[in-house]
Amino acid sequence: MVVDIAGFQVADWVALVPSLILGVTAMLLFIVDSIEPRPGTSSNTVLAGLSTLGALGAFLVAGYFLVLGVGQPRGTGAVDLFNGQLVVDGMSLFFVVIVGSVTALVTLASYDYLEGQEYQAEYYGLVIMAATGMSLMASANSLATIFVSLELSSLPSYALVAFLKKNRGSVEGGLKYLLVGALSSSVLVYGISLVYAASGSLQLNAVADALAGGSSVPVGILGVGIIMVLLGFAFKTASVPFHFWAPEAYEGAPAPVSAFLSSASKAAGFVVAFRVFLTAFPEVGGLAGGDPMVDWVTAVTVLAVVTMTVGNFAAATQEKVKRMLAYSSVGHAGYALIGLAALNAPDQGFVLGASMMHLLVYGFMNTGAFLFIALTEHWGIGRTFQDFNGLSTQAPLACAAMTVFLFSLAGLPIGGGFISKLYLLAATAQAGSWLLGAALIVNSALSLFYYSRVVKAMWIEDPSADLEVDSYPSSLYAAVVIAAFVTFALLPAFGLLSPSAFDAASVLFG
């Protein structure tokens, strides 16, 4: 098969180059490490540079493909690979952009964070391997490839959370992540097996065709299968009911890993959920008109409201900043679920596109906030709100960046988070789902309360006597400042990117 990319006739697998770049980078990291295999002997600079370049390469190529129109109706049209097991379209490229940019920021910041650690090569290798899995999740178009790529991103993540293997918190976080992850992946596989039982195939379009037949489909088996698949994705996106690993894993893990998991891994979980439910189960859910066979839209609505509320109320009661951010990331999963919950709106592409844009903005602002925590861990100051008192007297630039992240997460007009939340609200209004809209507004207002506590501690409270910041790690600072700049720039530049999200989304609704 041949596709036309920028006037060149190339083989169709070229459309998959962003994911291939990540995979090749992971292999290169292993080769670099095997040259000097004793732990701690490979150069941190080479490893961090190579992984950042690889992630940046994937990000740039995916962005360039989006601009060229690869996989989109105005260009090549969706590129099917391997008999439709993988597909490259606007949505997959959009999410590779998110994963690539988050990974680049995380590996850049890890350079300083890993200073003096023993197993650096393993760390970078696992990060890039997980990123490969996430970018493949964006392209996976069959329940088989979805499961394999989901595991490719999950398994390295378990090891990464437990990376500080002499630190009790890190090991405990890793254990809980592993236990919940193993449980939810077996629930997902069981759900997949039931969907296969009902439809006789795993490829998403074929599943949709088989289920469109109607009368002969065993609705009971299919319904249980769809709900179990939904629960499996709830783990990956840290939504209720499989959210309780998130605060433990994010708090225990090294902060750059928390940033990586809470932004990139969550986005990857959402793209898989979007693709499965909109490609395989639209008619089952009644999106094509008629009565739904299995009303998953209502199930997702319930999950979205509960997830938002649980995440935000739990965040409001936390004493530790990192744990607060972990719960707030659960709350944001609830906001992003609106993309699937408000689908009975007339303009479905707008609803899904709003959710995709929220995940893009969230990728930058949440990564930045966790990288700021990495900075404070590097300085060795404590984890509670009081420990941040007066930090702005020592590190005004980082504190200004953190303020941008937090207010943008809350939805104030200082970063892209404002517009993406506004779009989500417009989506709920379009769908006439007042419950979702009210939950979004109430929870955003509540979130402003606990985000402001950090800002107040940093800027208004007096510093304690022993607060001393002695080093300014350049790569961590660079990552934080870049993330802050992009978060801020997405406020005016939001309109430049949102058309590609809306176009990519509306294609899925044929």
Chain positions contacting another protein, by CB under 8 A? 143-144, 147-148, 151, 155, 158-159, 162, 165-166, 168-169, 171-176, 178-179, 182-183, 185-187, 189-190, 192-194, 196-197, 200-202, 221, 247-248, 251-252, 323
Q: Is the separation of the CB atoms in 333 and 267 below 8 Å?
A: no
Q: Which lies closer to another protein via its Cβ, residue 272 or residue 504? A: 272
Q: Which lies closer to another protein via its Cβ, residue 129 or residue 424? A: 129
Beta-strand runs (E) in 6-77: 8-11
Q: Which lies closer to another protein via its Cβ, residue 165 or residue 456? A: 165
Supply the minimum distance, in Å, between the C-beta of residue 439 and another protein: 26
Supply the minimum distance, in Å, between the C-beta of residue 118 and another protein: 14
Q: Which lies closer to another protein via its Cβ, residue 255 or residue 352? A: 255
Supply the minimum distance, in Å, between the C-beta of residue 163 and another protein: 10
Q: Is the separation of the CB atoms in 262 and 238 below 8 Å?
A: yes
Could you tell me the CA-to-CA distances from 114 to 107, 137, 289 in Å, in that order?
Answer: 10, 28, 54
Alpha helices in 114-239 (DSSP H): 120-139, 143-161, 168-199, 204-212, 219-236
Supply the minimum distance, in Å, between the C-beta of residue 314 and another protein: 11
Supply the minimum distance, in Å, between the C-beta of residue 189 and another protein: 4
Q: Tell me how crowded residue 460 is: count the other CB atoms within 10 A of its CB.
A: 10
Q: Which lies closer to another protein via its Cβ, residue 183 or residue 481? A: 183
Q: Which lies closer to another protein via its Cβ, residue 104 or residue 229? A: 229
Supply the minimum distance, in Å, between the C-beta of residue 139 and another protein: 17
The span from the CA of 193 to the CA of 311, in Å, is 31
Which SS3 state, helix, strand or coil, does residue 474 take?
A: helix
Q: Is the separation of the CB atoms in 104 and 55 below 8 Å?
A: yes
Supply the minimum distance, in Å, between the C-beta of residue 127 and another protein: 15
Residue type, 478: A
Q: Which lies closer to another protein via its Cβ, residue 74 or residue 166? A: 166
Residue type, 409: L
Could you tell me the CA-to-CA distances from 404 to 372, 454, 495 in Å, in that order?
Answer: 11, 12, 20
Supply the minimum distance, in Å, between the C-beta of residue 312 and another protein: 18
**H or E stretch including 162?**
none
The span from the CA of 500 to the CA of 397, in Å, is 33
Q: Which lies closer to another protein via its Cβ, residue 247 or residue 286? A: 247
Phi (first) and psi of residue 469, to 5 degrees: -100, 115
Q: Is the separation of the CB atoms in 388 and 457 below 8 Å?
A: yes
